[in-house]
């Protein structure tokens, strides 16, 4: 059973399944959610296949972390092999809620909780229908997501489009993620007016992979030689060397700085607070945490149409509408327009206020408490993050 020194025995118990504390937004958001729920008075544990990684330092020391054995190699196959161990863990510790951090683990979590009183909660972390997908593959993907929703006690989505796709497949709720923290408010408050004589400060945050498609943004920037700009790319991944070579080939290597993965939340918030624009050229996304966080820090955003979920956010923030994916020319035009019409930082922050940690956490707590059939009065105020 769950045992914690500071949480009462009747408190809501939540186990968060996360494969590993990796370098993606999904990993960071899952860890921060677990931290926040613990600080609310819940009895919370992290269940992981691997306990070391780039975001492991974010785990609250008061959290109990349990390690499930996992084979090496392909993550998806390793997760399938974990099912017996996860099912045993559910039956041994009997949490009220077993929460899946994202798409890859949703089926595993749903199957592990079958036949128990534990309520499986799936979270859609990438779009159900990817841009440009169609035919048998797209239908098979939709069928898989709907099957998982039927097996789960609740599916959490990030936009109305995904909610509509799953509406007839089981309980579905749209819940903003608790990603906006007080340090982001501080970064926005510390912003200085842009110096017209200084280079435009551009930022990209994310893994250096084909999905994130930093190559399109680099091509777009090469089309803007008349602008004085500097780009910081915060992230690591298999395409770093290829992207660096692309910078040289495009003649922009002296304008682009690769920082590697930024593990310190304060440092990341500072980068966002100093940026004029966040560039998000992704081919597909659920609703990127860094986009929400950049707006909270007062940075404008230029993004591709990587998900229908992005449209209302950009509209509320008075930002340029999303542009087609993999279209450098359109991305370049959007950058120019965004720089000509910068939005007020307060407007940007207001667009993502529902993602502020205290407000968003209320929604998660109420949803989990309702599933566990516990009074919502068990929730305690969340302390401000340091």
Question: Strand runs (DSSP E) across the chain, as ranges?
Answer: 13-17, 43-48, 64-67, 97-100, 119-123, 154-157, 172-174, 200-205, 229-234, 256-260, 277-280, 300-303
pLDDT reported for residue 8:
55
pLDDT reported for residue 111:
97
The answer on 196 and 309 residing in a single domain is yes
* 386 assigned to some structural domain: no
Q: Does 360 have pLDDT greater than 60?
A: yes
The answer on 169 and 294 residing in a single domain is no
Counting residues of the chain whose pLDDT is more than 70, the rounded percentage is 94
Give the domain extent around 80: 13-178+356-378
Q: Does 377 have pLDDT greater than 50?
A: no
Q: Does 3 have pLDDT greater than 50?
A: no
* 304 assigned to some structural domain: yes
Go through the chain and tell me how many residues it has: 386
* 274 assigned to some structural domain: yes
The answer on 198 and 213 residing in a single domain is yes
Calculate ∠ Cα 225-231-232, nearest 5°.
Answer: 170
Q: Does 60 have pLDDT greater than 50?
A: yes
Name the pTM for this structure: 0.88
- Mean of the per-residue pLDDT values of the chain: 91
Q: Does 91 have pLDDT greater than 50?
A: yes
CATH number, domain of 294, equals 3.40.50.2000
The answer on 336 and 191 residing in a single domain is yes
* 7 assigned to some structural domain: no
Q: How confident is the model at residue 386 (pLDDT cuts 50, 70, 90)?
A: very low
Q: How confident is the model at residue 9 (pLDDT cuts 50, 70, 90)?
A: low
- The domain tally of the chain equals 2
| Mean local confidence (pLDDT), 318-342 | 96
The answer on 164 and 223 residing in a single domain is no
73 or 225: which carries more pLDDT confidence?
225
| Mean local confidence (pLDDT), 281-301 | 95
* 284 assigned to some structural domain: yes
The answer on 298 and 151 residing in a single domain is no
Q: Does 250 have pLDDT greater than 60?
A: yes
């Amino acid at each position: 059973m769950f045992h914690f020194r500071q949480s009462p025995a009747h408190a809501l118990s939540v186990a968060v399944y996360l494969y590993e504390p990796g370098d993606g937004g999904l990993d960071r958001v899952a860890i921060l959610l677990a931290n926040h729920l613990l600080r609310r008075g819940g009895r919370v544990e992290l269940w992981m296949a691997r306990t070391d990684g780039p975001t492991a330092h974010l785990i609250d020391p008061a959290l109990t972390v349990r390690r499930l054995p996992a084979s090496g190699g392909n993550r998806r196959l390793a997760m399938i092999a974990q099912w017996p161990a996860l099912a045993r863990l559910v039956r041994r510790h009997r949490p009220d809620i077993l929460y899946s951090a994202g798409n890859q683990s949703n089926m595993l979590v749903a199957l592990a909780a079958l036949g128990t009183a534990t309520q499986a909660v799936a979270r859609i972390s990438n779009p159900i229908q990817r841009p440009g997908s169609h035919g048998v593959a797209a239908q098979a993907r939709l069928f898989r997501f709907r099957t998982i929703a039927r097996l789960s006690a609740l599916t959490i989505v990030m936009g109305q489009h995904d909610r509509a796709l799953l509406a007839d497949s089981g309980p579905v709720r749209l819940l903003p993620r608790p990603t906006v923290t007080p340090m982001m408010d501080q970064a926005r408050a510390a912003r200085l007016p842009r110096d017209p004589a200084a280079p435009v400060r551009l930022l990209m945050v994310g893994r250096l992979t084909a999905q994130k498609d930093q190559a399109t943004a680099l091509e777009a920037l090469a089309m803007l030689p008349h602008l004085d700009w500097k780009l910081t790319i915060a992230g690591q991944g298999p395409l770093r060397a290829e992207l660096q070579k692309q910078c040289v080939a495009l003649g922009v290597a002296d304008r682009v700085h690769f920082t590697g993965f930024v593990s310190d939340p304060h440092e990341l918030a500072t980068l966002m607070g100093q940026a004029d624009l966040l560039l998000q050229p992704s081919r597909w996304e659920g609703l990127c945490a860094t986009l929400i966080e950049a707006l909270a820090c007062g940075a404008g955003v230029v993004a591709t149409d990587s998900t229908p979920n992005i449209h209302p956010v950009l509209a509320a923030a008075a930002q340029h509408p999303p542009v087609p994916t993999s279209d450098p020319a359109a991305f370049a035009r959007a950058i120019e327009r965004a720089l000509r019409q910068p939005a007020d930082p307060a407007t940007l922050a207001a667009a993502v206020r529902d993602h502020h940690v205290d407000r968003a956490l209320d929604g998660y707590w109420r949803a989990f408490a309702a599933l566990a059939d516990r009074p919502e009065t068990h929730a305690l105020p969340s302390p401000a993050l340091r």
